[in-house]
Chains A and B, each alone.
Chain A
């Protein structure tokens, strides 16, 4: 998997994940991912549009990071998962805990409101 972070206007931190978020893929990015959500920035958008496969280990990672951000008083949302990944998030009941947005503007509003 690949992971990248980018600072957007308004103090938003956009983290982009891509590849297969299975056991191996999640292990590849897990430490970096927690490092990126553990910083000063509390408004985090995680772009999932490049994630082609999401397994429960990946859900675990998303949930852990979203919890950590929330515990610091921040907010993390998910951006543009594809149809298959969206179905996985919905079936696992994650969409109600970590909101999903289809466009960046809506995601920015959600983390800065």
Chain B
């Protein structure tokens, strides 16, 4: 399997950079519904988060999502990518995280793909709700937000990559 993201985008001939809706070419493999795919690559540096947010908000607007759904998706993308950058890599050398936003049957899907160590944010154990401020653990809110705010989430490990799909309803 050739390296990261570009080849995977390349398979999707409907991925129009200007966001036009073009039908996929006949015989294109995959199950994604037709429509534009907006894609972005970021490197494993937290300074990339703002650029990612700007891209995501703009791309999500082109799918006519309500502003609240866009904010929630933006938040969950921030949480997921922050976790990848902060915890996924054994060595802090250069890594690329690929994001793809596309229309799904019941809303919009954001795929986040990284080549870090296997980690399923959907089955990781969350700390129990604390009884008081004194008992409250610091941290762990990111996973709670992802699971609590998205209409659906899906995780898979494929070709040595983590692929997290976040779904918002339009």
Contacts and interface: CB of A to CB of B under 8 A. Distances in A.
A53 B74 contact: yes
A97 B130 contact: yes
B136 A88 contact: no
A84 B53 CA distance: 16
A23 interface: yes
Interface residues of B, number: 27
Contact of A55 (B47, B68, B82, B133): B82
Contact of B141 (A60, A66, A87): A60
B132 A56 contact: no
A67 B136 contact: yes
A56 B141 contact: yes
Interface string A1-43: 0000000000000000000001110000000000000000000
Contact of B145 (A23, A70, A91, A98): A91
B71 interface: yes
B49 interface: yes
**Interface core residue of B49, B79, B141 (most chain A CB under 10 Å):** B141
B139 A60 contact: yes
B79 A56 contact: yes
B149 interface: yes
Given A91-B149, A93-B129, A55 B75 contact: yes
B49 A23 contact: yes
A56 B138 contact: no
Interface string B52-65: 01000000000000
Nearest to B147: A91
Contact of B82 (A23, A66, A67, A70): A23
Interface in B115-168: 129-130, 132-134, 136, 138-139, 141-142, 144-145, 148-149
A55 B50 contact: no
Given A67-B136, A70-B133, A59 B141 contact: yes
Nearest to B137: A63
Given A23-B46, A92-B144, A92-B145, 4 more contacts: A53-B74, A55-B79, A67-B133, A67-B134
14 contacts: A22-B49, A22-B50, A23-B78, A24-B46, A24-B50, A56-B139, A57-B82, A63-B136, A87-B149, A88-B145, A91-B144, A96-B129, A97-B132, A97-B136
Interface of A: 22-24, 53-57, 59-60, 63-64, 66-67, 70-71, 83-84, 87-88, 91-94, 96-98
- 7 closest A-B pairs by CB: A56-B141, A56-B142, A91-B148, A92-B141, A97-B133, A59-B141, A23-B46
